[in-house]
Amino acid sequence: MTTAQTPPRNRLERETKFLQDIQDRIKNDNGAKADFRRALSGEPRHIRKVHAYVQLHIGKLSDSEWEQKRQEEQIWIPVTCLSVFYPQPFRESTKQRNFGHSCRSLAAATNSEGAERRFRTLLDLTLADIQSPLTALVRQMKTKEVAIDYPQLLADLRRWEHADQYIQDNWARAFWGAPTKSPEDVDPSFP
């Protein structure tokens, strides 16, 4: 008796679905898009306005997927706001492309050391301090039309404060061109 093999589950399926649902919901709503762009400022009054859109989709996920309220405010909402500010097609490929790759493309496009300095600073930040520098880099990427993989960014930021700092290491390898280890190689509990 043979069993049918199921295709491998995309590691970023949850993140991709979340971002796609938000984009589908607001695609014809310029007011909502403006709310998301204003929320990039980090001001609580603007962030509260996007909760109406984000909470609808948070309810579809299990409690274990939304480990802490802190993640919602420090990761999911800012990355969602960035994806509305500078929309990107969601990848079809299984090839991993992290934010280090995007920063490398930005550095090449600007031909200056500023992008590398900002990237180095980003690698040393805590999750609580990352939103503003991340937003500044994405704003620059938009002007240079640099691709960003938002589902991968969400997944990476969820593990940003891991004790081994393997996400920062992977971003650094991607930026400086070294082979990147997969998250599974470093942390076997990675979903």
Residue 4: predicted pLDDT: 46
Q: Which amino acid is at 144?
A: K
Q: pLDDT grade, residue 7 (50/70/90)? A: very low
Max intra-chain CA distance, the chain = 61
Per the model's pLDDT, the better-predicted residue between 181 and 49 turns out to be 49
Q: State pTM to two decimals.
A: 0.81
Spatial CA neighbour of 107 closest among 53, 172, 63, 159: 172
Domains and CATH numbers, the chain: 13-85 (no CATH), 99-186 (1.10.520.40)
Of 63-67, 103-107, 131-135, 165-169, the poorest mean pLDDT is in: 63-67
Which pLDDT band holds residue 102 (cuts at 50, 70, 90)? very high
Q: Token pair of 165, please?
A: 């700092």
Share of the chain above pLDDT 90, in %: 57
Q: Do 84 and 114 form a contact (C-beta atoms < 8 A)?
A: no
Segment 151-185, tens digit of pLDDT: 999 999 989 999 999 999 999 999 998 655 554 44
Measured distance CA(123)–CA(167) in Å, rounded: 9
Tokens describing residue 72: 């919602």
Residue 188: other Cβ atoms inside 10 A:
7
